Structure 1
Amino acid sequence: MKPELIKTALILGLLSCVGPFAIDMYLPAMPAMAEDYGVPVAASQYTLVSFFIAFGVCQLFYGPAADMFGRKPPLYFGLLLFIAASIGCALAPTIEWLIGLRFVQGVGAAAVMSIPRAIIRDRYTGTEATRLMTTVMLVISISPMLAPLVGSALIVPFGWPSIFYGVAIATLLSLVLTIFALPETLPAEERVPFRLSAMVDAFRTLFRDPYFMGLTLIGGMGMASFFAFISTASFLYMDHYGLSATQFSLAFALNALGFFASSQFAATLCERLGAVTVVRRAVTGFALSASLMLCLFALGFDSFALLVSLLLLGNTCLGLVVPTSMVLSLDNHGPIAGTAAALGGTLQMMLGAVAIGIVSALFDGTPMVLVAGIAGCALLALTLVVFTLREAPEPVTS
Structure 2
Amino acid sequence: MQPLSLPPRLLMGPGPINCYPRVLSAMSTQLVGQYDPTMTSYMNEVMALYRRVFNTQNQQTFLIDGTSRAGIEAALVSCLEPGDKVLIPIFGRFGHLLAEIAERADAEVHTIEVPWGEVFDPQQIEDAIKKVQPKLLAIVQGDTSTTMFQPLEELGDICRAHDVLFYTDATASIGGNPLEVDAWKIDAVSVGLQKCLGGPSGSAPITLNDRFVSCVRKRAHVEAGIRDAHHHGSSGMRIRSNYFDLPMIMDYWGDERLNHHTEAATMLFGSRECAIQLLNEGQDAVLKRHQLAGNAMLQGVLAMGLMPFGNLKHKMNNVVGVHIPVNVDGEKIRHDLLAIFNIEIGTSFGPLKGKVWRIGTMGYNARQDAVLHTLQSLETVLRRAGFGLPAGAAVDAAMAVYSGEV
TM-score normalized by structure 2? Answer: 0.26
More strand by share: 2
TM-score (norm 1): 0.27
- Higher alpha-carbon Rg: 2
Q: Which has the higher contact order (CA 8 A, sep 6+)?
A: 1
